[in-house]
Structure 1
């Protein structure tokens, strides 16, 4: 089967325009392959491919090298600051724009949601989810994720409701020390007046079609609702009215199955205590000691 490269829409985003320019210049250079271009630039072919398909931000220094390789007189250098402003790939950008204005944010997740992650937890998660990413790519994603958290602590924040699978408390992402700090951050977030945290315990058993994925419900200023479903490698905004109603019902069912906030906080404390024992068994002090 012939490989078909991902379609790019230069009019849609600066990331796409940057990638389209790379593809165009390769075509004009006797259909230069990505392999050959990576050799000329002394740059990872896999990373270069992700930049061309608008999945990754171009790193510092690449634009000058591309202009030199193609003789493009500063085109890539001019596009670089525009592309760097777009922290999220296009498939997430609309969701992020809606989340930035939502008045109510409800989320179910099998891991600690990005809005509640500590820097250390987020870095461990991002590094494991993209094992072939460069340090700069991971750092870019990390800063973009942490920047989103500012709205949780803003003067006039949305109403937040988080339902976490119990596995989010038990899986030692980054190790016991990082999990100890992460669970402490969850307890602190649960004390915010505008945030509610529930745990969906293992004892519930199977729980609808959301197992393994996450669901976010965004209520917008006009009171309309937009659900966003996310799997390991893809995310989908849902706007069909019937599907929106179904996602609302699924979330309400999870809310009914979850522990009350007070009991959820007790389970989080118990899990944190287990990690504290693991840290001490390793002969290491707790973060606050």
Structure 2
């Protein structure tokens, strides 16, 4: 199968513009990614992610690119803009909606939502999802995720309603100590007056949102918008009929979930169970 490079949108994002210019200059010079990585003394896999706008470079790369292609500081100038975009393009619009929302309602199937993760869990989750990213890039993504939480925990926060699948509590991200601290953080978060936290137990059975996550953003100046996400893709939903159907799905999940008090009881029981998150004995 012929490799198809990721489509870039340089008119929408400085990250995409940076990657598009690498690709344009490289192809103009008739250089493969492998050859460019050898010239720059830079990881080929990391360079490929940068060209696809999935990663940010280290600070030294723009100068190396300008020297390689004789581009008179162009890469340095674009990088100055690109490094202000900590999230890849596929998530950026959802992050902007998150910043504007007066209410956020979210269901998460397999993982603790990013807005509720401790730093340790965020680091484990992002490392698993970005196996080839260098440590500095992982740390930048962790910081960006933790910085988002200021929106929920700061002054004048949005009204938040989280439904966590029981699988998100049971699936370890880090060792037992990391997960117990995460459970304690969930309990503390659930005591805030603007936050409602429910758990959808395994006993609830199958449901319409199994396997992914759903977020609804209530905006003060626009209709409700939805964001559906899988482990690889995220989609903004704006069509009113489609959003209404997703709102109905969320209402069904609310009805199927445990009450906030019973949810806290389940989280505490999970945290206090000595066998939780221990590797299976074979």
Q: Which runs of 4+ in 1 moved over 4 A?
A: 275-279
Aligned counterpart, 1:233 = 232
TM-score when normalising by structure 1: 0.92
- Equivalent-residue separation in structure 1 for 2:249 and 2:234 (angstroms): 17
Moved more, 159-168 or 128-137: 128-137
Matching residue of 2:144: 144
8 Å CA contact 1:92–1:235 kept in 2: the answer is: yes
Instruction: Give 1:57's aligned residue.
Output: 56
User: Following TM superposition, by how much is the alpha carbon of 1:275 offset from its aligned partner in structure 2, in angstroms?
Assistant: 4.7
Please state whether the residue corresponding to 2:228 is helix, strand or coil. strand
SS in 2 for 1:155: coil
State whether residues 196 and 260 of structure 2, in contact with CA within 8 Å, keep that contact through their aligned partners in structure 1: yes
Q: Alignment partner of 1:103: what SS? A: strand
| Structure 1 position 222 matched with structure 2 position 216 | no
Q: Give unmatched runs, 5+ long, in structure 1.
A: 280-289
Contact 2:65 2:75 in 1 (8 A): yes
**TM norm structure 2:** 0.94
> 1:287 maps to what in 2?
none
Residue 123 of structure 1 deviates from its aligned partner by: 0.4
Query: What pairs with 1:34-183 in structure 2 (closer than 5 Å)?
Result: 34-110=33-109, 111-183=111-183
Summarize the alignment of residues 27-38 of structure 1 with structure 2, pairs less than 5 Å apart.
27-29=27-29, 31-38=30-37
Alpha-carbon separation, structure 2, partners of 1:165 and 1:64:
47
Partners of 1:277 and 1:45 lie apart in 2 by 40
**SS in structure 1 at match of 2:258:** coil
Does the CA-based 8 Å contact 1:177-1:275 persist in structure 2?
no
Q: Return the alpha-carbon distance in structure 1 between the equivalents of residues 61 and 211 of structure 2.
A: 37
**Could you tell me whether the CA contact under 8 Å between 1:179 and 1:275 is conserved in 2?**
no
1:8/1:20 contact within 8 Å kept: yes
**After the TM superposition, which of the residue ranges 219-228 and 145-154 deviates more from structure 2?**
219-228
Aligned equivalents of 1:83, 1:58: Cα separation in 2: 10
Superimposed CA distance per residue, residues 99-157 of structure 1 (whole angstroms, 9 cap, x where no aligned partner): 10101100000211100100001101111111111111211111110110001111100
Deviation readout 1:16-57 (Å, 9 max, x if unpaired): 11111111111221x211110011112111111111111111
SS of the aligned residue for 1:224 comes to coil
For each residue in 1:188-230, what CA deviation from the matched residue of structure 2 results, as whole angstroms up to 9, or x when unmatched? 000000000000001011112x111000000001361101000
What is the correspondence of 1:21-32 to structure 2 with a 5 Å cutoff? 21-29=21-29, 31-32=30-31
C-alpha distance in 2 between matches for 1:277 and 1:136 = 31
CA shift digits 1:40-80 (9 cap, x unpaired): 11211111111111111122211111112112221111211
1:201 maps onto 2:201 in alignment: yes
Q: Structure 1 residues 277, 142: closer, same or farther in 2, change over 3 A?
A: closer
Structure 2's unaligned 5+ residue stretches are: none
Question: 2:27, 2:170 → 1: CA distance?
Answer: 50
